[in-house]
């Protein structure tokens, strides 16, 4: 038993010593705090004696050989910047074997021994595929404002986006109160309602319509019956941009309101890409910095095919297949809190 353990430990140590150069890329939608993560990955790698290659425009840039040497100076002054200095792009070519083969050839040409990918579901799915096809160690960082990756309490960019939404809705409420209107505010989140639900609580909104609320009760009818008809002349409803049941976003509910309850006046605000931009909050900068350093530590320990997350303020390793494929559940208590406070 001891001999087997020593053999296993030796194999892990060999994997670590093989790594001399890492590549880092951002993919999918940008998120505030990505630059802080790039900075942390770069400097932690250099601290451990490794070289760093910055890969521009995600998987597409990897295929097109948009790869440059990164030094500590390359990431200087970036921790407070939104977006991503490595830029990002969607890549159709990476979806086929020929594209991934070209990407792998470019990694070999630059001497990249391991890859760190910062992004959401699609980005980590890409990392999982190239890792399995070419046996290259890959570690992912959860960079998405949607906060929809399983296994981590929060994702890079989520806190900043939430604060941006809060600021916008606070301003919208001034207009809603002045004109006695019902505002449907559509926020991002794809198939997850974390932004809508928590923003609704933070802004004192009257309701949140989210994909996770799968009861048979009509959410619009419940909102009208509980709040507006009893005591309120104006209200704000946060709506996730995409409903899993296909019912649509904010415009769908505004149209229904006008048709079914003509006594009310509705307005729609779609925040869109406002939510992605802006200076990252302290929380996102700290989270990204912790996860970036942890990604290098994971590679040193022989980890591969894992996403670095945070659970109960502790660093955790989440296998790619779990992070990508398992739906992250929303805390049902949040729904109850909003219902109680919106009377």
% the chain with pLDDT above 90: 73
Cβ atoms 283, 247 nearer than 8 A: no
The pLDDT, as a whole number, for residue 17 is: 54
What is d(CA 162, CA 131) in angstroms, rounded to the nearest whole number?
A: 33
Query: What pairs with residue 209 in β-bridges?
Result: 239
> Which CATH architecture group holds 2-157+280-325?
3-Layer(aba) Sandwich (3.40)
Task: Quote the tokens at residue 177.
Answer: 């109160």
Cβ atoms 63, 106 nearer than 8 A: yes
The pLDDT, as a whole number, for residue 11 is: 47
Residues of the chain with pLDDT under 70: 1-17, 214-218, 225-234, 242-248
The two beta strands, 306-311 and 314-319, are: antiparallel
User: Which residue numbers are catalytic?
Assistant: 146
Provide CB contacts within 8 A for 201, sequence distance 6+. 334, 337, 338, 341
The pLDDT, as a whole number, for residue 140 is: 98
- Residue range 209-257, pLDDT digits in tens: 998 876 545 677 777 766 554 555 568 999 998 655 556 689 988 998 8
- Can you identify the CATH homologous superfamily of domain 158-276? Phosphofructokinase domain (3.40.50.460)
The pLDDT, as a whole number, for residue 161 is: 98
What is d(CA 110, CA 113) in angstroms, rounded to the nearest whole number?
A: 9
pTM for the model: 0.91
The pLDDT, as a whole number, for residue 211 is: 85
The pLDDT, as a whole number, for residue 278 is: 95
Q: Which of 113, 47, 137, 38 is nearest to 83 (CA)?
A: 38
The pLDDT, as a whole number, for residue 342 is: 81
Q: Please report, for the chain, the start and end positions of each structural domain, with discontinuous segments joined by +.
A: 2-157+280-325, 158-276
2-157+280-325 and 158-276: identical CATH topology: yes
Distances (CA, A) of 117 to 14, 308, 322, 337: 22, 11, 16, 36
């Amino acid at each position: 038993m001891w001999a087997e353990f020593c053999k296993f430990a030796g194999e892990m140590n060999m994997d670590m010593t093989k790594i001399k150069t890492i590549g880092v890329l951002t993919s999918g939608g940008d998120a505030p705090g990505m630059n802080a993560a790039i900075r942390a990955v770069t400097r932690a790698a250099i601290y451990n004696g490794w070289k760093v290659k910055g890969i521009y425009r995600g998987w597409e840039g990897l295929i097109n050989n948009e790869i440059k040497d990164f030094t500590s100076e390359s990431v200087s002054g970036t921790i407070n910047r939104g977006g991503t200095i490595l830029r990002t792009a969607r890549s159709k070519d990476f979806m086929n074997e020929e594209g991934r083969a070209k990407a792998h050839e470019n990694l070999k040409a630059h001497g990249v021994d391991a890859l760190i990918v910062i992004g959401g579901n699609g980005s980590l799915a890409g990392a999982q595929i190239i890792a399995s096809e070419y046996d290259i160690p890959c570690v992912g960082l959860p960079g998405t404002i949607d906060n929809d990756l399983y296994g981590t309490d929060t994702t890079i960019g989520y806190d900043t986006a939430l604060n941006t939404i809060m600021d916008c809705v606070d301003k919208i409420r001034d207009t809603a109160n002045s004109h006695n209107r019902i505002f449907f505010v559509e926020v991002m989140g794809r198939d997850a309602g974390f932004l809508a639900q928590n923003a609704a609580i933070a802004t004192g909104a009257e309701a949140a319509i989210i994909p996770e609320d799968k009861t048979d009760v009509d959410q619009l009818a419940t909102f009208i019956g509980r709040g507006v008809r009893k005591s309120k002349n104006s209200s704000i409803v946060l709506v996730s941009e995409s409903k899993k049941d296909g019912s649509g976003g904010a415009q769908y509910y505004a149209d229904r309101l006008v048709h079914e309850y003509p006594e009310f006046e509705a307005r729609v605000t779609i925040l869109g890409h406002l939510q992605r931009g802006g200076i990252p909050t302290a929380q996102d900068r700290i989270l990204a910095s912790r996860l970036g350093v942890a990604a290098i530590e994971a590679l040193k320990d022989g980890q591969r095919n894992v996403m670095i997350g945070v659970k109960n303020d502790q660093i955790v390793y989440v296998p790619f297949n779990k992070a990508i494929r398992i739906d992250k559940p929303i805390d049902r208590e949040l729904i109850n809190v909003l219902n109680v406070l919106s009377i």
